[in-house]
């Protein structure tokens, strides 16, 4: 079995993010952060900056609720503008340059029966990625901390229990690299993804694809854009069961007040992804 090497920075960064998430309001110094995560200040600064492209102080600012509310100020116009220009439009509205298709409804109703899914593990900036692909494209992406990889896979498998699953880490490597290597985010070679869900879920996920990197929107705004303004709770459920994390950016949907709300793969990881994106947009 192919062994996936752990990211040299992620565990330290994960501890740092957890500490900052609970103490951002105290605006701790770098020395205080380092003491509480069990590393030297220099190591925290170097590892975090290498991983996220921004300093711990800058990241701390990015994950505060003030930052969340700032992202939301223009939320109504974010989706409106995205609909006007379409996918892969100006301003990196669709940063991963994804092309997508929905599987026939029967595949979902039959819980994946007759569908062959190849899956594997791959290192990522946010822990080990569990990648699921079909002949039609990427169908699933989950994240796991060390030791939780199989549990994350089983969580994905329960979505389509009748499908045939084959593990092949090498087979998913190219897709995984396309996801996490920004040099491979090319509009002329879009990443193919496959959306497998109910019609309502697929419409919700398609709307998420229009939220640009470095921005956020609300559940109510998503509901409005799919023509179901009163279905905010149903939208929240659909967002929560999005099977293709990061690529279909459910992490960019916040509560009406700017709260970060929950995340299927952990609130700390949601904050990590938002912080990573803030650093990426800031240096683009």
| Close Cβ partners of 141 (under 8 Å, ≥ 6 residues apart) | 129, 130, 131, 132, 179, 243, 244, 245, 246, 247
Residues annotated as catalytic are 250
Distance of CA 175 to the CA centre of its chain: 15
Can you tell me which residue has the tokens 């952060």?
33
Can you tell me which residue has the tokens 């229009």?
210
CB 173 within 8 A of CB 132: no
Per DSSP, helices labelled H in the chain are 10-23, 30-37, 41-52, 56-63, 65-72, 75-85, 105-109, 149-157, 169-180, 199-208, 219-225, 232-240, 267-283
C-alpha span between 165 and 57 (Å, rounded): 43
Helix, strand, coil fractions of the chain, as percent rounded to 5: 50, 15, 35
C-alpha span between 81 and 44 (Å, rounded): 39
How many Cα atoms within 13 Å fall on the side-chain side of residue 15? 13
């Amino acid at each position: 079995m192919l062994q996936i090497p752990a990211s040299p920075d992620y565990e330290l960064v994960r501890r740092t993010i957890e500490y900052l998430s609970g103490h951002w309001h105290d605006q701790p110094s770098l020395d205080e952060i380092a003491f509480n995560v069990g590393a030297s200040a220099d190591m925290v600064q170097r590892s975090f900056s290498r991983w996220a492209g921004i300093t711990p102080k800058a990241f701390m600012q990015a994950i505060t609720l003030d930052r969340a509310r700032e992202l939301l100020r223009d939320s109504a116009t974010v989706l409106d503008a995205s609909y006007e220009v379409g996918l892969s439009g100006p301003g990196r509205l669709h940063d991963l340059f994804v092309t997508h298709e929905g599987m026939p409804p029967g595949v979902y109703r039959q819980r994946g029966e007759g569908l062959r899914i190849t899956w594997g593990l791959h290192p990522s900036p946010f822990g080990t990625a569990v990648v699921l692909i079909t002949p039609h494209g990427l169908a699933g992406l989950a994240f796991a901390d060390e030791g939780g990889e199989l549990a994350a896979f089983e969580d994905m498998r329960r979505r389509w229990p009748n499908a045939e699953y084959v593990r092949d880490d090498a087979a998913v490597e190219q897709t995984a690299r396309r996801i996490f290597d920004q040099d491979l985010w090319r509009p002329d070679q879009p990443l193919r993804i496959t959306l497998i869900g109910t019609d309502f879920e697929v419409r919700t996920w398609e709307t998420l694809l229009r939220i640009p990197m470095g921005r956020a929107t609300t559940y109510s705004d998503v509901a409005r854009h799919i023509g179901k303004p009163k279905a905010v709770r149903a939208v929240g459920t659909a967002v929560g069961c999005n099977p293709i994390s990061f690529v279909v950016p459910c992490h960019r949907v916040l509560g009406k007040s700017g709260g970060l709300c929950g995340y299927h793969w952990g609130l700390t990881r949601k904050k990590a992804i938002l912080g990573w994106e803030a650093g990426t947009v800031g240096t683009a």
